[in-house]
Homo-oligomer: A and B are copies of this chain.
Amino acid sequence: MRATCILLCFFTFLVASSAHPGKKKQYKPCKELVLYFHDIIYNGQNAANATSAIVAAPEGANLTILASQFHFGNIAVFDDPITLDNNLHSPPVGRAQGMYIYDTKNTFTAWLGFSFVLNSTDHHGTINFMGADPTTLKTRDISVVGGTGDFFMHRGIATIATDAYEGDVYFRLRVDIKFYECW
């Protein structure tokens, strides 16, 4: 019995301390997902294919051409297909829905608030994201602030990378989601 207790002690000690280890480098995700999403911006001529639209713009700009000054002040609303690989035409496993805001006048920087709504054989649930996106960097980290369904109460970090960019009409983001709280 004493041995059991010692084992239990040791086990609970491990569990308790693994919850708040001393150095961040030691953390290992409890779950990881890599997904892609594809954004086709409405430009006045691609209504059939567009998955996003400019809905707000600063004074003097309009809703079919991204604003000058690094698109500062544009808000775009999107409903983008999510795929398992980098092919726009792969079968979507869900939709990325929300908005991005271009928020800097002297470089490309966006602010993101959006959700992944996943509905496939592998995953069913939503993941909620928020954070700053300095788009000129190779990779950027944003926060996974919550989730539902398969991702109930999850938290983590998503590392996003611009996987393709075609003028002001199309971009594709690679999203490497690492959950550190999985429930």
Task: Report the Cα distance A141→B126, complex, angstroms.
Answer: 8
Say if the beta carbon of A64 comes within 8 Å of chain B.
yes
**A113: interface (CB < 8 Å):** yes
Q: Which residues of B contact A4 (CB under 8 A)?
A: 6
Task: List 7 A-B pairs, minimum CB-CB distance, nearest first.
Answer: A143-B146, A141-B148, A115-B132, A59-B63, A8-B9, A55-B56, A56-B56
Is the pair A53, B72 in contact by a Cβ cutoff of 8 Å?
yes
By the criterion of a CB under 8 Å from any partner CB, how many residues of chain A are at the interface?
77
Q: Is the CB of A131 within 8 A of B126?
A: yes
Binding site for B on A (CB under 8 A): 1-2, 4-6, 8-13, 15-17, 19-21, 24, 27, 42, 44, 53-59, 62-64, 72-75, 77-79, 95, 97-99, 101-105, 109, 111, 113-115, 117, 126, 128, 130-132, 134, 141-149, 152-153, 155-157, 180-183
- Residue from A131, A142, A143 having most chain B Cβ neighbours under 10 A: A143
